[in-house]
Amino acid sequence: MLVVRYNHRIKTYMRDVNAVKKASSETSRVSTHFNRAVESFWPDESAHMKALLLETPHCVDSPTLKSASEYETVISFRSLVLGAVCVWQECWNVLQVCKRKTHRPEPYIGQLTESLGNKKTELIRIIEKRRYKQLALCVFSLQSAYLYLQAKRLSTFIRNPGQLALLNSLCCADPFTQSKTVTELREINIQLYANFRLHQRDNIEDFLLHLENYFQPKMKEMLGKKTWLICEQG
């Protein structure tokens, strides 16, 4: 019995070690997702938009994306745009994983594929019109969709009844019609972090912290970092 228990612990430990190694090999993930997002949203002017989104924010003559919102002092419209399109890309990436992992047709995959397509069209329109509040609301719905999709992804291979019940409770509503509040998003995040092991969580130590990285004012520096996620913490 002791030998079996010891072997199980070793296997579990090695899965987590391998997850860390996998993350170490994906040091360009932030940069890759950023590039894919911008090229997807603005295929005909991606170079211009990349330069616009990553320019020095305090340059006097800067043509930075701006809105008329009073909240520009809290988080710039440009940072909001950058975060929104990158979170959209993250949602799209997780959806593709769900498609590959699902053994039978699932209605939510088609529904979310259509919803994400519509959301991209909506985002492009909102960005063009500099609608700060509408863009912020889109971010909340995308973060809801991201956690929803992560829960769906986990449910494709989790067999523990208690964990499946938790995941089903997180997947009970369409995130685009019933997006979560900040408090609810953080509560879901805590539940996912507390109830699932490192390798199960796809090496993301904190789902929402990961997404919030895209909204940082020093995004240009973030794109140049050589380590990311838990690898930064050893």
* Model pLDDT, residue 233: 35
Going from the first residue of the chain to its last (234 residues), give the mean pLDDT of each consecutive group of 10, the final group possibly shorter: 49 52 52 88 91 69 75 86 92 90 84 94 94 90 88 84 84 77 81 76 66 77 54 34
d(CA 111, CA 213): 28
d(CA 145, CA 192): 14
pTM of the model: 0.78
CA dihedral 217, 220, 226, 227 (to 10 degrees): 20
Residues in the chain: 234
- Burial code of 191-229, b = ≥16 C-beta within 10 A, e = fewer? bbbebbebbbbbbbebbbebbebbbeeebeeebeeeebb
Cβ atoms of 164 and 111 closer than 8 Å:
no
